[in-house]
């Protein structure tokens, strides 16, 4: 058994992605796409995913260390299970074969794999009391290694210290408890995990906004980025025409505009480009 699947297993798990990969096999969506996605809203991403059959990629109701800071990054997934002695023993032995030598610091095993642009996404089955995956020391390591942050479906501690982390990072979590992490065993790194209603795979693009978190399959990331840019321009036009009372909200708030409105939009866009 392995803590982290082999490169071949991760490639098989994420075979929808045909682009570049990290040495461990995770999909490597280009930085340029991540930069574009920073402008996308949750609903814009949600709409594209729904249209392509991905209806369960959103998880909401989070607390944040940096409310209002939008994060975009590549998921490093991990999952904890309730501790049982025989399973923990097997995990500690497997971890040692993969150079994770500190048996009682399994949360640090995850952190040691993180690199710039990653988001640590951890399923600890909502555990908060003795389910605190990071405090301000581990949180500082996550922040400095990724420059992005984490999504923890469970607890954190040292909240006051974590709030002071700098560099545009944000940690999404369920709640705070002063107790340290106890009585759990790490089931895997870069395995499929469940966060709320969503199944998350390694290399998914995490878009964390004040609305919540959407996990974008890597093969749809560029399309989400491009579509959201188009929707953004349409939103500006629509709101301008609404405030001018040229059209009604029933005209504008529809999936596809009537021909004369679409023509007006295309003309408006051309004029805008001409002014530049």
Q: Is 143 in the site for ligand OAA (CB under 6 A)?
A: no
Give the number of residues in contact with Mg ion, rule: CB under 5 A.
2
Q: Give least dist CB 199 to Mg ion, A.
A: 31
Pairwise CA distance, residues 145 & 115, whole Å = 5
Nearer to ligand OAA, 74 or 157 (CB): 157
Q: Is 128 in the site for ligand OAA (CB under 6 A)?
A: no
User: Among residues 85, 112, 87, 116, which one has the least CA distance to residue 100?
Assistant: 112
Asked if 65 contacts 176 with a C-beta cutoff of 8 angstroms, the reply is no
Q: Which stretch binds ligand OAA (CB under 6 A): 131-139, 197-205, 225-233, 252-260?
A: 131-139
Q: What does DSSP assign to residue 21?
A: B
User: Site for ligand OAA (CB under 6 A): which residue of 158, 184, 191, 215?
Assistant: 158
Nearer to ligand OAA, 162 or 200 (CB): 162
User: Site for Mg ion (CB under 5 A): which residue of 27, 95, 131, 135?
Assistant: 135
Nearer to ligand OAA, 181 or 195 (CB): 181
Q: Give least dist CB 255 to ligand OAA, A.
A: 46
57-90 burial string, b = 16+ CB within 10 Å, else e? bbbeebebbbeebbbbbbbbbbbbbeeeeeebee
Pairwise CA distance, residues 88 & 86, whole Å = 5
Chain centre distance of CA 208: 6
User: Site for ligand OAA (CB under 6 A): which residue of 6, 115, 137, 266?
Assistant: 137
The residues in 151-190 that bind Mg ion, with binding defined as CB under 5 A, are 158
Query: Which residues have CB under 8 Å from 96's CB, separation 6+?
Result: 103
Which of Mg ion, ligand OAA, none has residue 138 at its interface (CB below 5 to 8 Å by kind)? ligand OAA
Distance between the two ends of the chain, CA-based, in angstroms? 59
Give the number of residues in contact with ligand OAA, rule: CB under 6 A.
9
Enclosing H/E stretch for 223: helix 218-243
Given the rule CB under 6 A, which residues bind ligand OAA?
A: 134-138, 157-158, 180-181
């Amino acid at each position: 058994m392995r803590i982290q699947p082999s490169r071949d297993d991760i490639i098989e798990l994420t075979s929808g992605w045909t682009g570049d990969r990290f040495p461990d096999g995770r999909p490597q969506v280009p930085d340029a796409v991540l930069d574009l996605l920073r402008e996308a809203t949750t609903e814009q991403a949600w709409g594209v995913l729904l249209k392509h059959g991905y209806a369960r990629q959103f998880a909401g109701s989070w607390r944040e260390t940096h409310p209002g800071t939008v994060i975009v990054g590549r998921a490093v997934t991990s999952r904890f299970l309730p501790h049982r002695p025989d399973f923990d023993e097997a995990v500690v032995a497997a971890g040692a074969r993969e150079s994770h030598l500190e048996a009682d610091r399994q949360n640090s095993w995850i952190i040691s794999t993180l690199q710039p642009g990653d988001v640590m996404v951890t399923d600890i089955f909502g555990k908060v009391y003795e389910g605190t995956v990071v405090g301000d020391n581990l949180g500082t390591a996550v922040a400095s290694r990724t420059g992005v942050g984490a999504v923890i479906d469970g607890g954190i501690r040292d909240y006051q210290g974590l709030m002071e982390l700098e560099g545009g990072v944000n940690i999404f979590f369920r709640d705070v408890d002063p107790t340290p992490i106890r009585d759990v065993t790490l089931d895997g790194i870069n395995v499929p995990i469940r966060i709320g209603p969503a199944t998350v795979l390694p290399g998914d693009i995490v878009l964390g906004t004040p609305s919540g978190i959407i996990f974008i399959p890597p093969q749809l990331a560029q399309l989400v980025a491009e579509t959201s840019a188009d929707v953004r321009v349409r939103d500006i036009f629509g709101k301008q025409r609404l405030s001018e009372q040229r059209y009604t909200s029933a005209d504008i708030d529809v999936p596809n505009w009537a021909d004369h409105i679409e023509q007006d939009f295309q003309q408006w866009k051309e004029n805008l480009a001409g002014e530049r």
